[in-house]
């Protein structure tokens, strides 16, 4: 009787294979790299990204080690990039929308407090000195720092000033000081070499020296000019219990409000601020601020009109061309179609800039030709109506090849016997197009029309590169133009308005745009029943 060996399967069978050992080693290497990177992120206090990367590393480790997750191993790289470059930015955008993240509020609270505490001032009666700089031998950083100063007050008394150390009154040969020259300055200081003005200027050390506080917190000295240094003290004293700063020069008390330390009357504030959760403030600013709300309705209406007209015109022209060349007997149609598809092969960035040059009011070939033919030409960049026409014309040129290709394929997929039956019933060409071609075409092309509307609703490149949203809207207190759409208006508000970067506001409006586009898209699918029609015809 033959003895049957027991079969071992699943994870038990995998334990002794070379592939399993290899995966163990690969997982160890990947986890080691992730741990190193996460530790660096934590050191830089980027906790959100560190948490996201940790979660991804854990998921990939499970996928690599679990036998049942075998199908997902080939997808692990895609999962990593999807999470880090798609899901994480979305989650981070949502997080930023509820914060004051932007210029003046880029640091966390501890970093901001440290920066504010570094501000110093010269109190009344503060001592002034002349100074001579010394640098650590060979430029090495020793226990007292890279630089030292020799200070002389008005009475000629000399002091050695080291960062973080009390001022030391020294005579010749005392402490670290060596012999003095005839001006009462040490020829050398132990561990340091003396610098002259030429050496300072050549090495750029003078700029570094101005940032250093020599001495302790109570008798700190900073360089004020090329010859003098002044004894100063910390201007703002921080009270951790009350979370307030007290200005020692004026007596003002600053309290933290939405990431900024301000006085009780709100008229004075300290910089920098820090990142803080502000709830719905960014959304309220966008809807309630008169400056933002002024041109908003006009921009939203144009945004919808621009997206709708762009879809209608590009689809109409693309369908017309495809319908004309759908006739197999049309002479030379392949060569002509090849030329008509050229705009689709050229990057839109180049095409938009070319059109901008063609429509130049002074030397553009379009305006020059029109002036020669009819004596005048539109002002494409300063007239609001003609600027919108120009935007639509450029977008028509960019978009019609796409729909020409799509419609060409869809037309060829319509059975010919349907047309033959319609002809037998006496339908003319227009009736065949209206009752047969267009309805069947929309079943295939309808979802692409929705996608095109969504794309054009956020078509930032065209608006910004061609005309930067101009011409400006008269009376608007913000940077707003007649051709601005929501996304370009938000860009101007958050990044190009001369007030620095306001990532919180930009993220909040980005979320609003998402909900607007999502609502429109769902409504279009629901109203046209494209999903149902497509499923019925599959």
Per-residue pLDDT of 266-307, as tens digits, reads: 889 998 899 898 989 988 888 777 766 668 888 889 999 999
- The more confidently predicted of residues 205 and 425 is 425
pLDDT tier, 534 (very low <50, low <70, confident <90, very high otherwise): very low
pLDDT tier, 102 (very low <50, low <70, confident <90, very high otherwise): confident
Give percent of the chain above pLDDT 70.
90
pLDDT of 176 above 80: yes
From-to residues of CATH 1.10.3720.10 in the chain: 293-537
pLDDT of residue 465: 92
For residue 392, give the nearest of 472, 316, 496 by alpha carbon. Answer: 316
Average pLDDT estimate for 239-256: 91
Lowest mean pLDDT among 7-11, 137-141, 350-354, 402-406: 7-11
Query: What is the C-alpha to C-alpha distance for residues 97 and 83, in angstroms, rounded to an integer?
Result: 20
Q: Average pLDDT over the chain, rounded to whole?
A: 83
pLDDT of residue 54: 87
pLDDT of residue 499: 56
- The more confidently predicted of residues 57 and 292 is 57
The neighbour count for residue 40, using CB atoms within 10 Å, is 11
pLDDT of 123 above 90: no
pLDDT of 97 above 50: yes
Gap between the terminal Cα atoms of the chain? 58
Contact status, residue 469 vs residue 497, Cβ threshold 8 Å:
no
Tens of pLDDT, residue by residue over 445-470, are 888 888 899 899 989 999 999 998 88
Query: What is the C-alpha to C-alpha distance for residues 422 and 490, in angstroms, rounded to an integer?
Result: 52
- The more confidently predicted of residues 335 and 529 is 335
pLDDT of residue 30: 83
pLDDT of 246 above 80: yes
Q: Which of 29-38, 87-96, 301-310 has the highest mean pLDDT?
A: 301-310
pLDDT of 309 above 80: yes
Lowest mean pLDDT among 20-24, 105-109, 287-291: 287-291
pLDDT of 98 above 50: yes
pLDDT of residue 21: 80
- Confirm or reject CATH 1.10.3720.10 for domain 293-537, answering yes or no: yes
**What kind of fold does domain 10-97 have according to CATH?**
Methane Monooxygenase Hydroxylase; Chain G, domain 1 (1.20.58)
Phi, psi (rounded to 5 degrees) for 290 = -60, -35
pLDDT of 199 above 80: no
Phi, psi (rounded to 5 degrees) for 222 = -130, 150
pLDDT tier, 533 (very low <50, low <70, confident <90, very high otherwise): very low
For residue 229, give the nearest of 128, 106, 360 by alpha carbon. Answer: 128
385 burial type by CB count under 10 A (0-12 exposed, 13-18 middle, 19+ buried): exposed
User: Is 78 in a helix, a strand, or coil?
Assistant: helix
- The more confidently predicted of residues 315 and 34 is 315
The neighbour count for residue 415, using CB atoms within 10 Å, is 10
What is the reported pTM? 0.67
From-to residues of CATH 1.20.58 in the chain: 10-97
pLDDT of residue 1: 47
pLDDT tier, 444 (very low <50, low <70, confident <90, very high otherwise): confident
For residue 223, give the nearest of 123, 118, 149 by alpha carbon. Answer: 149
For residue 167, give the nearest of 149, 181, 183, 187 by alpha carbon. Answer: 149
Query: What is the C-alpha to C-alpha distance for residues 185 and 271, in angstroms, rounded to an integer?
Result: 39
- The more confidently predicted of residues 526 and 465 is 465
* Beta-sheet strands, E only, within 87-213: 120-121, 128-136, 147-152, 158-161, 168-169, 192-194
Q: What angle in degrees, to the nearest 10, is found between the helix axes of 460-467 and 486-495?
A: 60
Q: Which of 213-217, 269-273, 439-443, 523-527 has the highest mean pLDDT?
A: 269-273
């Amino acid at each position: 009787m033959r003895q049957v060996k027991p079969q071992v399967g699943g994870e038990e069978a995998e334990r002794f294979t070379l592939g399993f050992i290899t995966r163990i080693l690969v997982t160890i290497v990947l986890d080691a790299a992730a741990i190193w990177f996460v530790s660096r992120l934590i050191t830089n206090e980027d906790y959100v990204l560190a948490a996201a990367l940790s979660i991804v590393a854990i998921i990939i480790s499970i996928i690599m080690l679990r036998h049942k997750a075998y199908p997902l191993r080939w997808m692990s790289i895609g999962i990593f990039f999807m999470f880090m470059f798609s899901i994480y930015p979305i989650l981070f955008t949502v997080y930023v929308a509820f914060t004051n993240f932007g210029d003046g509020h880029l640091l966390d609270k501890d970093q901001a407090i440290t920066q504010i505490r570094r501000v110093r001032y010269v109190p009344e009666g503060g001592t002034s000195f002349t100074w001579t700089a010394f640098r650590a031998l060979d430029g090495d950083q020793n226990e007292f720092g890279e630089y030292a100063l020799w200070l002389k007050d008005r009475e000629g008394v000399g002091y050695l000033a080291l960062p973080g150390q009390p001022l030391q009154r020294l005579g010749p040969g005392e402490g670290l000081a060596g012999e003095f020259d005839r001006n009462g300055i040490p020829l050398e200081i132990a561990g340091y070499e003396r610098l002259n003005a030429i050496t300072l200027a050549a090495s750029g050390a003078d700029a570094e020296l101005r940032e250093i506080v020599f001495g302790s917190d109570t008798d700190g000295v900073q360089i004020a000019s090329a010859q003098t240094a002044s004894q100063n003290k910390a201007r703002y004293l921080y009270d951790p219990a009350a979370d307030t700063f007290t200005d020692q020069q004026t007596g003002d008390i600053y309290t933290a409000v939405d990431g900024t330390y301000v006085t009780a009357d709100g008229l004075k504030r300290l910089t920098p601020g820090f990142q803080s959760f502000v709830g719905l403030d960014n959304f309220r600013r966008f809807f309630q601020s008169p400056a933002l709300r002024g041109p908003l309705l006009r921009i939203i209406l144009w945004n919808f009109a621009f997206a709708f007209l762009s879809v209608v015109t590009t689809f109409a022209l693309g369908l017309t061309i495809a319908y004309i060349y759908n006739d197999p007997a049309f002479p030379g149609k392949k060569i002509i179609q090849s030329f008509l598809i050229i705009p689709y092969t050229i990057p839109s960035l180049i095409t938009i800039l070319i059109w901008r040059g063609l429509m130049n009011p002074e030397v553009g070939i379009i305006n020059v030709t029109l002036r020669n033919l009819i004596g005048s030409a539109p002002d494409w960049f300063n007239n609001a109506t003609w600027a919108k026409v120009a935007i639509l014309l450029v977008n028509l040129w960019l978009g019609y090849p796409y729909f020409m290709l799509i419609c060409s394929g869809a037309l060829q997929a319509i059975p010919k016997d349907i047309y033959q039956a319609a002809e037998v019933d006496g339908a003319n060409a227009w009736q065949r197009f209206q009752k047969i071609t267009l309805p069947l075409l929309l079943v295939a092309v309808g979802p692409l029309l929705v996608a095109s509307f969504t794309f054009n609703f956020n078509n930032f490149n065209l608006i910004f590169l061609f005309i930067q949203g101009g011409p400006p809207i008269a009376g608007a207190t913000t940077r707003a133009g007649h051709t601005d759409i929501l996304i370009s208006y938000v860009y101007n508000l958050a990044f190009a308005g001369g007030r620095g970067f306001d990532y919180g506001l930009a993220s909040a409006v980005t979320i609003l745009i998402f909900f607007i586009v999502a609502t429109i898209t769902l409504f279009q699918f629901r109203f046209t029943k494209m999903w149902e029609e497509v499923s019925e015809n599959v």
